[in-house]
Structure 1
């Protein structure tokens, strides 16, 4: 029993001590792990998402709240969808690898989780 408790404590300590390197994902070109249609190009203050399949382009401003959290505000949709304009989406980077990050995004109503893979940029 003592060993199980010790393993549990060691496991919890090692999980919480994992570091996140969020800054390397502040800029670059990305794709979703589960959808190759969308390509995302991000600077420190803007993000452009392009769907290669239907040629939809979303342009957003970015406000960084911390190294691992930012708010995206959609400012332009070339397909003219007014219900997405000015929508604010808060994104939290949950953990990182050398080339990807897991995130949680919410617009205040709906919450999603996914993985972005960095395909270009430092």
Structure 2
């Protein structure tokens, strides 16, 4: 089974919906990662702000950061090997890595909401 790790730059959140403007690339990758996680696939995402030990503890990531600095983020590893530096993988790449179709990464989660207004006082 493939393992993909995404090392994000320092930011306040991974979805891109915090702050004054929405970054569509962050929203896209967050949605794709969510879809892959829901399928039980091995994809992990680390934020420099919240998990600096993941960056320092990975010799490949640490070396790239020392050589190229923070502009090398996001950094993506597939099975421990660097596949992207400074960019997120396209949905087509993620789909290929996990033997899926790109459409499977853009499906919106279905959430059923029920309200019981009778029990409200």
Alignment TM class, shorter chain as reference: under 0.3
> TM-score normalised to the size of structure 1?
0.26
Higher helix share: 2
